[in-house]
A = this chain, B = another copy of it.
Amino acid sequence: MENNTKSKILDEALVMFAENGYKGTNLRDLASRLGLSKSALYKHYSSKDAIWNALLDRMEAYYAEHFGSADNLPNQPKSMEELYILTMKMVDFTLNDARIILTRKLLLTEQFHDERVCSLATKHFMVGTKNIFANIFKKMMNDGILKNDDPEMLAFIYTAPVTSLIQISTREPDKKGEVLEQIETFVKYFIATYAVT
């Protein structure tokens, strides 16, 4: 399968671009990690830049699929307990999925060198999760579970601290356990503050 090789190239390119940046990644290493010679890469992609852009295409497609429409939204929590569980499930995934971690590294290191990365970074670190929780909170307010307030603002003050803690874990993986505890503490604090009593 040619297609298989093409996607394996992107898999390994993600690892290398994330670890060493675009400039710090060289095609000889990339090829040898795949058990290929460098010139074989050129049978699948016309240049280093073409690999880079194909990888970004795939990332954009992934985001369009998972965050683009309202269909893929997580199950609407019916209680604060369920909000807690949903949140921690999302955090756990985000904190441990290898591909997401690499993607986050790539977005951070290359956000100033590529416009597409720039817009993806804002989506990933800001508006993506914020919008999801804004919708969730709006319904929870209608259901009388969550205190009435501006759902956009509440989603922002809920997701921003979590996102900032996740960035610490991305930067210093040793602190993952500590970060997880802090997220738990924060989420519990938020729920205690905004639950309808």
Contact = CB atoms under 8 A, between A and B. Distances in A.
Number of copies: 2
Interface in A1-44: 19-21, 23-24
Interface string A150-176: 100100110011011101100110000
Contact of A157 (B24, B150, B157): B157
Interface stretch (A49-57, A63-71, A88-96, A106-114): A106-114
A156 B167 contact: no
A57 to B, nearest CB: 21
Interface string A105-128: 100111111000010011001100
Contacts of A161: 156-157, 160-161
A186 interface: yes
A104 to B, nearest CB: 10
B113 A164 contact: no
A33 B117 CA distance: 28
A174 to B, nearest CB: 11
Contacts of A153: 185-186, 189
B164 A126 contact: yes
Nearest to A127: B168
Interface of A: 19-21, 23-24, 105, 108-113, 118, 121-122, 125-126, 150, 153, 156-157, 160-161, 163-165, 167-168, 171-172, 185-186, 189
18 contacts: A20-B23, A21-B21, A21-B109, A21-B113, A105-B112, A108-B109, A108-B111, A109-B109, A109-B111, A109-B113, A118-B171, A122-B168, A126-B164, A153-B185, A156-B186, A160-B161, A163-B164, A164-B164
